[in-house]
Structure 1
Amino acid sequence: MVAGALTAALVVAGWFVVSRDRRGGPDGQGPQVPSVFPVPQHARPGTGSPVPLNGHVYIVAPSGTDQASVAALQELVAGAGGTGEAVAALNNPREDASAVYLGTAATSASALKALRIDGDAEIQDALGRTEGYALATGQSSGIPTAVLAGKDGDGLFHAVQTLRQLIKGGSVSPVRISDWPLMETRGVIEGFYGTPWSHQARLDAIAFAGRQKMNTYIYSPKDDPLLRDKWRALYSNQELQQLQELIDAAATNHIRFTYALSPGIDVCYSRPSDLDDAVAKLDSLYSLGVRSFVIPLDDIATKVQCAEDLREFGSGQANLAKAQASFLNDVNERFISAREGVLPLETVPTFYNGSSSTPYKRELGKALNPEIVVQWTGEDVVSHRITQESAETAARSYGTPSSPRTLVVWDNYPVNDFSQDHLFLAPVIGRDANLYQSIHGIVTNPMIEPYLSLPAIFNYADLTWNGPAYDPATSMGAALSLLAGPDPEVNAAVRAFVDLNQDWQDDELTPSAPGLRRDIDRFWADYDAGGSPSGDLKARAGLLQRLPELLPRMAVPGFATDATQWVAAAASYGRGVEEALDMLEAAKRGDTQTAAEARRNVQSALTAATAKTQPTLDLGVVVPVLGDNELKGFLERALQQVPAS
């Protein structure tokens, strides 16, 4: 119920964007497939008319059909204005009704046959792949029909998420889609330092990730003491109850809840009692339904810490790897292999970036059980580019030349724990489209601000599902449309705010405030030429001043709440820019009194915009930074044009 709040808000948003797949008739004429994100492997227009969902709709779901998919479809029908009637089979349907079939490849075979597409090669291909699905429309039993078929429960749930994007005016557009993910692991790791997300934010992030066809949430907040500092301690009943809610929400949204225990701060790798404590802690989560585990050994001392380990393994980085491999192998044998249904163990090495071989990596590659998966951050801790070549080299370095290690990329974007005065809202860039050929998957490490991280989570869902079709700008535009909702003013405000937060560590692919910079450059070109400047900069300044009013009206208001102090700074900058324009205009016409008053207002706005207002967990109160080089630069240049009298 709680996680459904975000989903309901996004349903209300009415998310429909310009078609990306234009497979219509000749020369792009005729019907087109509405845009779907993540971008499907195959999508083309269907035949016939749309399938109405705003009347009586039979939801045909045989016994054993995934109940989360059935519930999600019922919600969609209700949101479209229809009445859903769940039936196990359809006999003598009403003439004025529609039908939506849900099921696996086997249970949907007759429905696909009725649409005369059961032999479609693309559909059969999709239904033979893990998490694959097919979605098609047509006529069956004399009424408009949509068929959603999944290879498995995950695939069926993904089909429903695609269906929600095909609904317009209460009907489903005629389509034929066959689809599956290219990466096996696609998700979010809450792995940053700083204020952990709230319980509600975690529920909402899980629901959002499920809607975007992700399949993984890794619980690993660095400042949760029971994960690191007090890793041996078991959870209280109240804490277990909250974890159970997260685990259940993940299951409902077809997300794999992964628990990450980080004992590396004070573990003694050779001490039997530490192994016992680790197994007991993991077992307590297993009893709640967790079947996926990570033992991160990152950001700890780079040598063994206890006398027993020194005697057992010796000193030096290679022996650290030997000690860690021994411990991880024991956890794997004692817990992972001994429990039913547990997925392969994952770890984060102490040296978790870089692709080249080192003594530590070579020893880890030889000693660590080959079934254990390594999480890797790329060539750097925060990697601006991740290439297929780099990933393949790293797989050999953490494994062996003849047996490369399975890698999951722990991608440190858009995380901002190292720069808590900044927000990183640029689209995800610099990841090879064909990475899926060399790695198991990617998990994004988000910002301290959960709802501001949703655009990047959307991008990563798109990238990991179908990397070759991923387009950063298009994907980000769709994400912002979804989060903003249908109001054009709100959409414009969201984009103006996001424009101010493009800059990611001076990366050439994410220039700071490109829209604002364009308006400023145009203004000064006109001003210096003696002409009348366009009104673009003034309009942008007015929009920035309205951010505190407009952003809370988003379909996902948590975005505005997370951004409160940055929004206030942007509004102050907007006021300063507007006053600067008035100052320059007054000075040009010789109105010194008005110019002087506007000048004082510019300085006041600049002071407000650069005040320390954003609290942090460990750095005190900091100045929220956004588009500062452009905004401050413009104001300072304007003040130079009109010296103080």
Structure 2
Amino acid sequence: MQINKNSVPFLGVIEGFFGRSWSWEDRKNYAQFLALNKYNFYIYAPKSDKNLRMDWQQDWSAKTKEELINLRQFYRSANVDFGIGLSPHEIYLSDSRDQRAQLNQRIEQINQLAPDILCILFDDMRGDIPQLAQIQTDIAHQAAAISNAKKIIFCPTYYSFDPVLEKVFGTMPENYWQTFAQQLDKSIDIFWTGEKVCSAQYSAEHLAQVTELIGRKPFLWDNYPVNDGAVKSNLLQLRAFDQSHSQLADKVAGHAVNPMNQPWLSQIPLASLPLAYCEQTHYSASSAFTQICNNLCGAELAEQLQRDIYQLQDLGLKKLTQEERQNLRATYRQFHNNPYAQEILAWLNDEYQFDPACLTE
């Protein structure tokens, strides 16, 4: 695949979903997958890692830290940037010096991994706090001053125009986004999910509006193909990225994709995004889906996936009859040890349960 680098933004994957986590082996495998598909970075930020969220003040166990150091080396060897996403859960509810000192200590611990990217993430937290943007800006600046990462990306509590965020996390303070435009260091990028938490498309008009609002081009946090929500946990989102994604390169600071709980099946849509950016107006999502399925899964399974895509991605588990489930199980058992088929079987057997901690979709 010949890629015009000017047509592709800083592109990567953020493991940032709720529910069943990837294994360490899955994460290591992604180093080569991302490198082969011209992705630039991987960010470790699973919601299940308590030492990045609810227990953010505490360092990882020696075993987990060893796994992370190992993982960092895999990405370094593949020439793919490695990142860590820290969510200092509701640190702004306490103005104690202890909290800020603990943040310094935690960033120093993360520095031991020598990440290329550090994300400071305030998503999925209460937001109806006076002066919230100023407090979050101060925290981001504090973390950036201590971090040895070459890139800092910040996620606000309100990262979309989607009204569900205020419904779940409280009324957004006045001039919230405008404060970041005025006060947040311009070298710090800001994550944005689009008009919705899970946006299918990103119009040029919307991205221009957001650029003006936050004082820099948004860094897309793309919630496709992620399937951790109450509705989408019933689906396998396998289709290629929409053709509109081919026109985003000059409108964004970067593009991070949040994948599914299923690492192997996530590769199918993920492999299409660099194609969209590369081929631009010549890109066809349906052709890309066919081509990628054949390349990754083999011709026989690729043909089966195309036959079953409506049941897998549109109908979903809750709407499948028991007979339809049984038929699909019998079909995908025929592919024996194929990892893509194995994940479909696990999904059919309800092994990817919805995590109620996921409050938005």
Same fold per superposition (TM over 0.5): yes
Cα distance, 1:230 vs structure 2? 0.4
Q: Which amino acid aligns with 1:372?
A: I
Q: C-alpha distance in 1, partners of 2:348/2:221?
A: 30
Gaps of 5+ in 1: 1-35, 42-178, 305-314, 400-404, 506-511, 514-540, 569-612, 620-645
Find the counterpart in structure 2 of residue 353 from structure 1: 160
1:497–1:567 CA contact under 8 A, matched in 2: no
- Residue 552 of structure 1 is aligned with which of 324, 329, 336? 336
1:344, 1:453 → 2: CA distance? Answer: 26
Are 2:342 and 1:561 aligned? yes
Q: Which residue of 2 aligns with 1:414?
A: 225
- Between the aligned partners of 2:79 and 2:107, the Cα distance in structure 1 is 21
- The alpha-carbon deviation at position 262 of structure 1 amounts to 0.2
Per-residue Cα deviation, 1:24-61 (whole angstroms, up to 9, x for no partner): xxxxxxxxxxxx3xxx25xxxxxxxxxxxxxxxxxxxx
Deviations 1:226-266 (A, max 9, x none): 11000010122211110012111111222111101001334
Residue in 2 that maps onto 1:321: 133
The residue that corresponds to 1:369 in the other structure is: 185
Q: Aligned runs of 1:236-385 on 2, under 5 Å?
A: 236-268=61-93, 270-304=95-129, 315=130, 319-332=131-144, 334-336=145-147, 339=148, 342-354=149-161, 359-385=175-201
226, 231, 241: which one pairs with 1:428?
Answer: 241
Number of aligned residue pairs: give it: 340
Give, in whole Å, the separation in 1 of the partners of 2:18 and 2:313: 22
Paired amino acid for 1:326: D
Query: Is the Cα contact below 8 Å between 1:376 and 1:410 reproduced in 2?
Result: yes
Residues 451-504 of structure 1: per-residue CA shift (max 9 Å, x gap): 11111111123234554443211221221012212xx43332232233432429
- Contact 2:19-2:352 at 8 Å conserved across structures: no
Of the three residues 222, 227, 243, the one matched with 2:52 is 227
TM-score normalised by structure 2 residue count: 0.85
Cα shift at 1:394: 0.5
Query: Retained in 2: the 8 A contact 1:322–1:363?
Result: yes
CA distance in 2, matches of 1:217, 1:259: 9
Deviations 1:248-296 (A, max 9, x none): 1111222111101001334457443323322322222322221210001
Alpha-carbon contact 2:8-2:274 (below 8 Å) kept: no
* CA-to-aligned-CA distance 1:539-586 (integer Å, 9 cap, x gap): xx9x95752343336xxx221221114567xxxxxxxxxxxxxxxxxx
Q: CA deviation at 1:391?
A: 1.0
- Per-residue Cα deviation, 1:504-552 (whole angstroms, up to 9, x for no partner): 99xxxxxx99xxxxxxxxxxxxxxxxxxxxxxxxxxx9x9575234333
Residue identity in the other structure for 1:548: Y
Larger Rg: 1
CA deviation vs aligned residue, 1:401-430 (integer Å, no higher than 9, x gap): xxxx13210000111111322211222116
- Secondary structure of 1:379's counterpart equals coil
SS in 2 for 1:442: strand
1:458 is the counterpart of 2:271: yes
Q: Which residue of 2 aligns with 1:491?
A: 302
Contact conserved, 1:269 with 1:326, CA < 8 A, in 2?
Answer: no
RMSD: 2.9
**Aligned partners of 2:75 and 2:81 also within 8 Å:** yes
SS class of match (1:426): coil
Q: Which has the higher contact order (CA 8 A, sep 6+)?
A: 2
Q: 1:186 to 1:615 in 2, by over 3 A?
A: closer
Conserved 8 A contact 2:91-2:99: no
SS at match of 1:322: helix
1:384 match: secondary structure:
coil
Which residue of 295, 298, 310 corresponds with 1:482?
Answer: 295
Name 2:166's counterpart in structure 1.
Answer: none
- Using a 3 Å threshold, how does the CA distance of structure 1 residues 264 and 258 change in structure 2: closer, same or farther? same
Change (3 A) 1:269 1:185: farther
SS at match of 1:552: coil
Q: Secondary structure at the match of 1:493?
A: helix
Rate the CA distance shift 1:228–1:473 in 2: closer, same or farther, 3 A.
same
Q: 1:408 to 1:468 in 2, by over 3 A?
A: farther
Decide whether aligned partners of structure 1 residues 467 and 232 sit closer, same or farther in structure 2, where only a CA change above 3 A counts: farther
Instruction: Using the TM superposition, name which of 204-213 and 242-251 deviates more.
Output: 204-213
Q: Which amino acid aligns with 1:427?
A: A
Q: Cα deviations across residues 362-421 of structure 1 (Å, max 9, x unaligned)?
A: 12211211211001000110112211221121011111xxxxx13210000111111322
Post-superposition CA distance 1:275-333 (Å, at most 9, x none): 332232222232222121000111100133xxxxxxxxxx2xxx11111112212222x
Give the Cα separation in 2 of the matches to 1:558 and 1:551: 9
| 8 Å contact from structure 2 (residues 54, 89) kept in 1 | no
Query: Given that residues 218 and 253 in structure 2 are in contact (C-alpha distance below 8 angstroms), is that contact kept between their aligned partners in structure 1?
Result: yes
Q: Note closer, same or farther for the CA distance 1:495–1:546 as it changes in structure 2 (3 Å cut).
A: farther
Matches within 5 A, 1:100-179: 179=4
Secondary structure of the equivalent of 1:226?
A: helix
Matched-pair identity in %: 23
Name the CA distance, whole Å, in 2 between partners of 1:547 and 1:181: 43
Give the CA deviation at 1:361: 0.7
- Counterparts of 1:388 and 1:439, CA distance in 2: 10
The offset of 1:191, in angstroms, is 0.8
Per the alignment, residue 83 of structure 1 pairs with none
Q: 5+ residue gaps in structure 2? A: 164-171, 357-361
Structure 1 length normalisation: TM-score? 0.49
Decide whether aligned partners of structure 1 residues 283 and 544 sit closer, same or farther in structure 2, where only a CA change above 3 A counts.
same
Q: Distance in 2 between matches of 1:355 and 1:566?
A: 29
Alignment partner, residue 397 of structure 1: 213
CA contact (8 A) 2:11 2:255 kept: yes
* Structure 2 counterpart of 1:440: 253
